[in-house]
Amino acid sequence: KNQVEQSPQSLIILEGKNCTLQCNYTVSPFSNLRWYKQDTGRGPVSLTIMTFSENTKSNGRYTATLDADTKQSSLHITASQLSDSASYICVVSARNYGQNFVFGPGTRLSVLP
C-alpha cells in the first residue's frame, strides 16, 4: 500500500534555531517527492521537488534531501523565522495512471520569538 509518514507530528522551536523534518514513504513506482508549506487556512505552496536521481535541493533557507534507497526524505530549515510557522507536507508522486499523489499527514511547526 502506498503510504507517506512524517515525523514529528508537531514541533516547537525558538526563532533563529534550525530544525529537521522527516518523511518516510512506501510509494512505488516512485516519480518525485515534493515538500509543501501550508499556512493555516491557505493552500499548500511548493518548496522543493526532487526526482529519483537528486539527493539534495535547496530553496533559500530550506534544504531537502532524498535517499531513494531507504525511501526517506528530510526538510532542513535554517535560521528559522516566525513566518516559518506552518504545516509542512511531504507528497510523493507515483509513476502510474490516475491520481498519483500520496500525501503525508504533515508536521506542524511553531516558531516562537
- Site residues, another protein (CB under 8 A): 31-32, 34, 36, 41-46, 49, 51, 89, 91, 93, 95, 97-101, 103-106
d(CA 89, CA 86): 10
CB of 14 to another protein, least distance (A): 23
C-alpha dist (Å) from residue 24 to 11, 50, 78, 106: 17, 14, 21, 12
CB of 16 to another protein, least distance (A): 27
Tell me which DSSP letter residue 9 carries: S
Angle at the Cα of 90 from the Cα atoms of 95 and 88, rounded to 5 degrees: 155
CB of 98 to another protein, least distance (A): 4
Nearer to another protein, 70 or 99 (CB): 99
Nearer to another protein, 40 or 113 (CB): 40
Nearer to another protein, 21 or 89 (CB): 89
